[in-house]
Structure 1
């Protein structure tokens, strides 16, 4: 069962490269914010899958929830800042 979780995490890491591309080369700042949000969400899911793979789901879920909260607040703050700077 561990192999399934590791394989799913590896596939998600490959799919996360699309978000990383959007984060680096986004034509507008809002595309970059979208890439950052998707990258953070994928990282949260990867952390949870790795917790399942290593049998320490309780520890990894706590880390993933903290990371998701920081990601949400960071993206919200960046979007608000750039919206005010633009308008």
Structure 2
């Protein structure tokens, strides 16, 4: 997923610098970090998420298709399944 997102940013003319990538990787892999993604917090609390606005948009820009097996497609499928389950629970 990291490689897909980086390649997508590069194709769009927004190549992250090595320093920015190193900083981001450090934050994302620090086991002692108290930082969490807002979408993760929303998932954990059963709140609505922005699957289409965040991962769906990145997937569309990446050139991958939903269901093609890329990590972005897998992440998107998981988030859409969460949204569908949440919608079912809300109607019951």
Q: TM-score, normalised by structure 2?
A: 0.37
In proportion to residue count, which structure has more helix?
1
